[in-house]
A and B are shown apart, each in its own frame.
Chain A
Amino acid sequence: MNSTATAPRRPIDIVNASLKRRYGAERRFRWLGLIAVMLGLGFVALLLVSIVSKGYTAFWQTYIQLPVTLSAADIDPKGVITAADTAAETRRKALVRANFRTPVRDALRAQFPDVSGRTDRRALNALISGGAALQLRHLVSEDPALIGTEQTLWLVADDDVDMFMKGRSTPIDEQPGAGEARPSAATGDITLTAAADDFTRITTSVRGFLERRTERLDRDIARLERILADLAGEGAQISAAMDDADAAARDRLEDRAARVDDRSGQIARKLERTRGEREALGARLAAAAAGEPLALSDEMPSFMVAINGGMVKVQEATADRLSGTVVSTLASADPAPPGTWRLLELRTPEDDRRLSDRQVAWIWQLEQRGLIEQRFNTLFFTNGTSREPELAGIAAALVGSFYTLVLTLLFSFPIAVGAALYLEEFAPKNRFTDLIEVNINNLAAVPSIVFGLLGLAVFINVFGVPRSTPLVAAMVLTLMTLPTIIIASRAALKAVPPSIREAALGVGASPLQTQFHHVLPLALPGMLTGTIIGMAQALGETAPLLMIGLIAFIVDIPGGLTDPATVLPVQIFMWADSPERGFVERTSAAIMILLAFLVLMNLAAVLLRRRFERRW
């Protein structure tokens, strides 16, 4: 930069000198913009991927195949259903009362004859959905002659089983045994000895878990000690301050000292407990190092051995020997040659999942027998909602949405087109039409929930329109979508050149004839495009519908416009609120279907626009 010192610099030199800095700023700004676009696109991708990855599995449902004996003793003890002369109504009532649950349970029990005890039986029964009984009822009501026969049926599995089969409960690692394994007995608490070091995986896993736990305890101890030291320091400070304090301050300080003491006591007790825990753990680890068996607990990953057609849940293990409980009786206590038995690791600890190890063992065995599989989930498309995720479907919501949308279309299209026609073509320019314009523009931006309040206060409470029905929903949605359609329709009317109107008026058509015969047909595609977009908006709307009672729990598919109903987005809202894991995938799947409809509608709008777009 010596030129500045010697000669006055020419402007162009200054410009050239600034270029590097300025192009740096240019590049940074450009990057910023690109990052913003990428973030936006990334959010779209994230949203869709998150929904699809959660939801695609809902289109399959786990079924369990069982030979079910439809015994007359359970279903039809009085022979009402089978009797040829029973009236249809009586038969229907008998079917509703009939016990279809016992046949299902018996069939499941037949698969695992060794299950006994109330708790275990209940755990076994929990594998099959309550919907299985409904399946049987449906079957029998179609053909009463089936009573007394044995049918091999695919029955709906419980949602926990479904989640497990879809890998959303716990991952399972399977490993074939390398050496021969010798069980000590076929049932009860047994030991299992392996010829090779087959169980090192168990010991490693348990040791790893214990070591991690020790580390955490060590950290806790350190933290507690630090707090204790701090408190001691504070106590010392207080007592030092107490020496030269007046009476009022002394009272306050004593108060504080008491609180510090209290807290120190608490922390000290906690520290003692933690140290005790830490020592016990250390002792266990030391014992394990010395060759003692390591015990498993419900907080760690579970291990099971599948051997001789049964299953053993591991309780303690060394590298080549374990003891455990038989959860499913072994066919024999013979030694199992290498490769015929397997070691299973359920990586999610039993405490953290809804299925117990025992239930997992049953499912695993059913799977080995080929009796459990995932099939296309027709229930999702034919059922209404349910408290049980595996039985919940979107049919009722879809029908509700359909009725609501059709009504909304019937209400809003004529009104919007009429209003647009009047405002664009006939309305004189005065304060009344100005008022309408301002209102339309503002209504387009009013929060949707406010329309819900309007619906509740006016339609339901004043006009007495029945609550929770497609009718009232359509009325509210009509008011909501009107601005959208009116604005689009006016734009479509504006796009029709004045020459068309002049031509029609020129041959003596009345203004209304001009509009209906010439302008409207030309503007129609644009109006329809706007209408479709408005309908898409209505299809996805939720908030105002909550206000007017569409949130009711609707199992039955609504039969008419004044039947209680729900709609797809509200159904999604309600499912999203349910705690069961099974509902997460159902909700996501319902969202996928909703989005699919929206995509179709928007696509239709785009195609319509392309097809009829006209340049004047």
Chain B
Amino acid sequence: MVEVSTKSAAPPQAATEAVLQAVNLTKRYGAAVAVDNLNLTVARGEVFGLLGPNGAGKTTTILMLLGLTEPTSGMVRVLGLDPARDPLAVKARVGYLPDAVGFYDELSARDNLSYIARLNGLPRATAQQRIRTAIDRMGLSEVIDRPVGTFSRGMRQRLGVAELLLKEPEIIIMDEPTLGLDPEAAQGFLRLIRDLKHDGITILLSSHLLHQVQAVCDRVGLFSHGRMMISGTVAELAQRILGGGYRIVVEASGDQRAIKSALLALPGVKKIEAAEREQFVIVGDRDLRADAASAVVGVGGGLVGLDVEAPSLDEIYATYFKEATNGANA
């Protein structure tokens, strides 16, 4: 809310190659449409968040991207490959962390991972070493030989990520990764996602926990009833749905009317919401703090305080779905 991540405001490196792509992707179960004409492109190195209520078709989309479910129609390309035709090549390079990840409870963490390493055809020595590294990185080295049955939800989740690291994937797909984690563990997990992004891994995650998505995702897509309603960076969405989104609170002493008109004249300012007792709330399409400051100083006012509220995904989400339902009812 308060802190603006420069990452989420910056546009994604659009020039880079698209590693995940869905074109007019549709999945029907009998008469029910789970995914309806989905179009989605994720560029290399991006963190993309699929947002939507439960049952919106997020998991089905993910399964189609992995080739675990066949699309009814449409096209999917993962790293340029068709997951329905070439699932082995796709699955060798894409890591998947399902929601509520499960392990063989009676086996130790190490045995669980070495089974996965064997399924991936890793040579024994490589596997041993990678398991060690991945477990260490996830902070599970003390429990490596304990049965997974004794693990907490957060530890299982980290073991799930250790398994992903084992494959050294180019893309990681996570389904509701922070669901059921306590706040501290969830924060740790978000840090981890940022680390993975730094390693150059493309990440697609689905969630309905908006704060968390906003904290890590470069771009998000709002999902509802099998349709991708709208997608872009959080700032773009705020722009389109809230008509602006950055709320800048300026506290200034001096000629209030002059200051107000100077602020209104700034490019990018949509409106001034409240003006009371030397305080102005400007709604703008970007972070206008610097401009506002110089405007206040320019008309001879004294700048007392300056603050910015970044647009929140909660607000966008609520507004969007309210508009969507109103539109449907009208």
A, B from the same assembly: no
